Amino acid sequence: MKNVLLTGGMGYIGSHTAIELINNKFNVILVDNLSNSSRDVLEKIERITDIKPKFYELDIRDKEGLEKIFKDNKIDSVIHFAGLKAVGESVQDPLRYYDNNMISSITLLETMKKFAVKELVFSSSATVYGDQKSPLDESSQTGVGITNPYGQTKFMIEQIIKGQPIQIRELVKDIVMHSNWNLPIFPTDEGDAIASEFLLEDDEEEV
């Protein structure tokens, strides 16, 4: 069974991804500092899947802590969701965004390199396309006219990843996320209720 580490795995998209992966027979390991999520998510995942995934409460800027996770688990792949994500907030407090999003991604890449983990899915954002007019697709230019620090962090992380010897399975962009990441339809009524809760908890300024 493949071991997939989900950074930001307790968040809105991370937790739904965990459910989908568990339902498709992956072993998921979640790491999250709970800055924008809560511990209850773990029980909700268990209620839907009957499996309580391994969870580490950790800020992934903590290099030693992250290395211990890689040491204690044979990680095959990483899906990197951890990050701050509100455009307006990033304009008000850019340094917080650069610190959190950049340092966490660099620490993750260094750790993946150290443990020879080569598969990564990065959750990027449509903000990397700047103020260009739609329609946009994956071949559209990125990095020009980005209007906020949040988008800058996503663009810079993409550039850093491209320079790494990592097989990039996919750079998940908003354009894909909004069509594909609308909340999954859970097979049970309870699942739908949980999905609604997540929707309500998620802030409005999504990107």
Ligand X SMILES: NC(=O)c1ccc[n+]([C@@H]2O[C@H](COP(=O)([O-])OP(=O)(O)OC[C@H]3O[C@@H](n4cnc5c(N)ncnc54)[C@H](O)[C@@H]3O)[C@@H](O)[C@H]2O)c1
- Between 1 and 185, CB nearer to ligand X: 185
Give the whole-angstrom CA distance, residue 84 versus residue 123: 12
17: DSSP letter? H
| Runs of H (alpha helix) within the chain | 12-23, 40-49, 63-72, 87-92, 94-97, 104-114, 149-162, 174-180, 189-201
* Interface residue with ligand X, options 6, 21, 28, 85 (CB under 6 A): 85
151 binds ligand X (CB under 6 A): no
11 binds ligand X (CB under 6 A): yes
Taking every pair of Cα atoms in the chain, the longest distance, rounded to a whole number of angstroms, is 46
Q: How far is the CB of 108 from ligand X (least distance, A)?
A: 9
* Interface residue with ligand X, options 78, 82, 112, 156 (CB under 6 A): 82
Stretch that binds ligand X, among 70-78, 79-87, 160-168, 189-197 (CB under 6 A): 79-87
Give the whole-angstrom CA distance, residue 81 versus residue 122: 7
> With 0-12 CB in 10 A as exposed, 13-18 as middle and 19+ as buried, what is 60?
buried
44 binds ligand X (CB under 6 A): no
Stretch that binds ligand X, among 43-51, 53-61, 158-166, 188-196 (CB under 6 A): 53-61
* Interface residue with ligand X, options 5, 6, 10, 30 (CB under 6 A): 10
Catalytic residue among 12, 56, 129, 150: 150
Its sign, for the CA torsion 84, 87, 93, 95, is: positive
Stretch that binds ligand X, among 47-55, 76-84, 134-142, 188-196 (CB under 6 A): 76-84
- Between 1 and 107, CB nearer to ligand X: 107
Number of residues that bind ligand X (CB under 6 A): 29
Q: What share of the chain is helix, strand, coil (3-state, %, to 5)?
A: 45, 15, 40
Which 156-175 positions form the footprint of ligand X (CB under 6 A)?
174
CB 125 within 8 A of CB 119: no
Give the whole-angstrom CA distance, residue 174 versus residue 138: 10
77 binds ligand X (CB under 6 A): no
Give the whole-angstrom CA distance, residue 81 versus residue 79: 6
- 150 catalytic per annotation: yes
Determine the residue with CB nearest ligand X.
Answer: 11
Per CB under 6 A, residues contacting ligand X are 8, 10-14, 32-37, 59-61, 81-85, 100, 104, 123, 125, 174, 177, 202, 206-207
